[in-house]
C-alpha cells in the first residue's frame, strides 16, 4: 500500500490532505528523483480552475525551485495537454494540479515522466520515501536555485495538436456542437478547437470562478448538456470533466453515450482502416459485457485490467495495443496521446460521423448494454469492511446467484473512502437484488 498516491496521483481535500507542506515536499521529492544528468532541469506545471490551485501551484514551485529545477507554468490546461507539453517542451517532469471530476473542495497532484506517461508504482514509492525523509541536506545551493516562468503560448500549441489528430481534409462543417467544459481546464481550448475545425459551437461550463468546477456541469452531471442539445436541436453534445481527460457524449436525441460505446465506434472504424496495432482493445473490469460480446462479433478481443486509466495504459504499452479506455470516458489512443484525452476522443467520433454522414444516435449505438447496476458505499477512514465475515459471505452468495452469465465487481475507490459494488447480467431484476444485498451487508458493517 502506498501512503500518498492512489490510482491517479495524490488526491484529497484541499488544505486538509493536499496542504502546502505536502505540495512543497512533493515538489522537492519528485524534483530530486527526476534530476538525471548535468543539464538544467525543468518541470511544467498545469492546473484546472479550482481556487486551491493557486496555493498548491505556489507550494510546488517552491519545492521544485528549492532543489534546482526551473518551472514553466502553463496555467489552466487539460491533463492530456500537460502530458503532451511535458514531451514537447523537453521537460524532465510534468505536473497537473487537479482532482478531475471531484468537487472544488478537493484537489490533487498528478505527475508525468519526461515521456509524458504517468509514473510507475516503483517511481511513486521512491517519491513517497523521499517525502517522508529529511531533505534539507539535498537542497540546491544559493547559486543553483531554480527559476519560474509563465508560458503564454500553450493554448495554441494544444489546439494545433488536437486538430492534427484528424485528416487535413476533414472538417466539422455543418455540425452544430454543444460542448460542456465543466467550468474546468478545457474551458478555452475545447470550444476554440471545435470552432477552428468548422463546427457551429455552443459552449457551456466555460465561466470558472474557482468554486463551480464540475458543479451541475461536465461529464459527471450531463443534465445541462442534455437539455441544451434538445433545446438547440444540436447534432451532438460533448461533456468533458474538470481536467478534460474523460468525455461523455450526448446524441441528437439527448441520449447519453458512455465510454464503452465510444470505444466500440473507434475500434470498428480503426479495424476497417487497418489502424489497430493489435486485434483488440484494452478496457477495465467495469466495462459492460455487451462491449466484449460486440467486439467478439467483429473478431476483436478485449483485455480487462484493474480500474484506472494508468492500468489500461500500462497493459497497452506492455502488449502493443493502441486503443483502450474506461466506461467512464477515459479513452486512450496511444498513437496520439500518453493519457486519456476527452477532446481528442470526441474528435475521433466526429470524424466517423462526418465520414458516414449518419446521426450520432446511429453511429454510437453499436450494442445493447447488459443491465448493469453500480452503487457506492461510504465507510470511515481506516475501516476495512471487505474483510468482515458477513460481507465476505454476502459477496460469495451474490457470485453464485449471478452464475457464469453475469459479473460482480467489488472494489475500493482509489481516491476516496468508498466501496464500489457493480453487477451485470442478462436478468436485470437479479442484478438489482444482488447489488442491493451486497450493499446492505456493507452498510451494516460500515455503520
CA distance 402 to 425: 7
Mean pLDDT by 10 residues, the chain (447 residues): 85 96 98 92 98 98 98 98 97 97 96 94 95 94 96 95 95 98 98 98 98 96 97 98 97 97 98 97 94 96 92 95 96 96 98 97 95 90 82 94 90 82 94 95 88
CA distance 89 to 96: 15
Identify which of 43, 75, 74, 76 has the alpha carbon closest to the alpha carbon of residue 60: 43
Buried b / exposed e along 188-225 (16+ C-beta atoms within 10 A): bbbbbbbbebebbbbbbbbebeeebbbeebbbbbbebb
* pLDDT value for 360: 98
CA distance 244 to 47: 11
Q: Is 100 labeled as catalytic in the residue annotation?
A: yes
CA distance 355 to 84: 28
- pTM, entire model: 0.89
* pLDDT value for 246: 95
Please state the three-class secondary structure of the chain as a single string.
CCCCCECCEEEEEECCCECHHHHHHHHHHHHHHCCCCCCCCEEEEEECCCCHHHHHHHHHHHHHHHCCCEEEEEEECCHHHHHHHHHHCCCCEEEEECCCCCCCCEEEEEEECCCCCECCHHHHHHHHHHHCCCCHHHCCCHHHCCCEEECCCHHHHHHHHHHCCCCCCCCCCCCEEEEECCCCCCCCHHHHHHHHCCCEEEEECCCCCCCCCCCCCCCCCCHHHHHHHHHHCCCEEEEECCCCCCEEEECCCCCEECHHHHHHHHHHHHHHCCCCCCCEEEEECCCCHHHHHHHHHCCCEEEEECCCHHHHHHHHHHHCCCEEECCCCCEEECCCCCCCCHHHHHHHHHHHHHHHCCCHHHHCCCCCCCCEEEEEEECCCCCCHHHCHHHHHHHHHHHHHHHHHCEEEEEECCCCCEEEEEEECCCHHHHHHHHHHHHHHHHHHHC
- Here the cell at position 94 is 510534468
Selected catalytic residue, list 52, 66, 100, 269: 100
Amino acid at each position: 500500500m502506498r501512503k500518498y498516491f492512489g490510482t491517479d496521483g495524490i488526491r484529497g481535500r484541499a488544505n486538509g490532505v493536499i496542504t502546502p507542506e505536502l505540495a512543497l515536499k512533493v515538489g522537492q521529492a519528485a524534483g530530486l528523483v527526476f534530476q538525471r544528468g548535468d543539464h538544467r532541469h525543468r518541470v511544467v506545471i498545469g492546473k484546472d480552475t479550482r481556487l486551491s490551485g493557486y496555493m498548491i501551484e505556489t507550494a510546488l514551485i517552491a519545492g521544485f525551485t528549492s532543489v534546482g529545477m526551473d518551472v514553466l507554468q502553463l496555467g489552466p490546461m487539460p491533463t492530456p495537454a500537460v502530458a503532451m507539453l511535458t514531451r514537447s517542451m523537453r521537460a524532465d517532469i510534468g505536473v497537473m494540479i487537479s482532482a478531475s471530476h471531484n468537487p472544488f473542495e478537493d484537489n490533487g497532484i498528478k505527475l508525468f515522466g519526461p515521456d509524458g506517461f504517468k509514473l510507475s508504482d516503483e517511481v511513486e514509492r521512491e517519491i513517497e520515501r523521499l517525502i517522508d525523509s529529511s531533505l534539507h541536506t539535498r537542497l540546491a545551493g544559493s547559486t543553483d536555485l531554480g527559476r519560474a516562468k509563465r508560458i503564454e503560448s500553450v493554448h495554441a500549441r494544444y489546439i494545433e495538436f488536437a486538430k492534427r489528430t484528424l485528416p487535413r481534409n476533414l472538417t466539422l462543417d455543418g455540425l452544430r456542437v454543444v460542448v460542456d467544459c465543466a467550468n474546468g481546464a478545457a474551458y478555452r481550448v475545447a470550444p476554440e478547437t471545435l470552432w477552428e475545425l468548422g463546427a457551429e459551437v455552443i459552449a457551456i461550463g466555460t465561466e470558472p470562478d474557482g468554486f463551480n468546477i464540475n458543479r451541475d456541469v461536465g461529464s459527471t452531471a450531463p443534465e445541462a448538456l442534455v437539455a441544451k442539445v434538445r433545446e438547440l436541436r444540436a447534432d451532438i453534445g460533448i461533456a468533458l470533466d474538470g481536467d478534460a481527460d474523460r468525455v461523455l457524449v450526448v446524441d441528437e436525441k439527448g441520449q447519453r453515450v458512455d465510454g464503452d460505446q465510444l470505444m466500440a465506434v473507434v475500434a470498428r472504424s480503426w479495424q476497417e482502416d487497418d489502424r489497430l496495432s493489435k486485434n483488440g482493445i484494452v478496457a477495465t473490469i467495469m466495462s459492460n459485457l455487451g462491449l466484449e460480446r460486440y467486439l467478439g462479433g467483429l473478431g476483436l478481443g478485449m483485455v480487462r485490467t484493474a480500474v484506472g486509466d494508468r492500468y489500461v495504459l500500462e497493459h497497452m504499452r506492455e502488449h502493443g495495443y493502441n486503443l483502450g479506455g474506461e466506461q467512464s470516458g477515459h479513452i486512450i489512443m496511444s498513437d496520439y496521446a500518453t493519457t486519456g484525452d476527452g477532446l481528442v476522443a470526441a474528435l475521433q467520433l466526429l470524424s466517423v460521423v462526418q465520414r458516414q454522414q449518419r446521426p450520432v444516435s446511429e453511429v454510437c449505438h453499436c450494442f445493447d448494454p447488459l443491465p448493469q447496476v453500480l452503487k457506492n458505499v461510504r465507510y470511515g477512514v481506516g475501516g476495512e469492511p471487505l474483510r468482515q465475515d458477513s460481507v465476505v459471505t454476502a459477496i460469495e452468495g451474490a457470485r453464485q446467484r449471478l452464475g457464469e452469465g453475469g459479473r460482480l465487481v467489488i472494489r475500493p475507490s482509489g481516491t476516496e473512502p468508498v466501496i464500489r459494488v457493480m453487477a451485470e447480467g442478462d436478468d436485470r431484476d437479479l442484478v438489482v437484488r444482488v447489488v442491493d444485498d451486497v450493499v446492505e451487508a456493507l452498510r451494516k458493517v460500515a455503520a
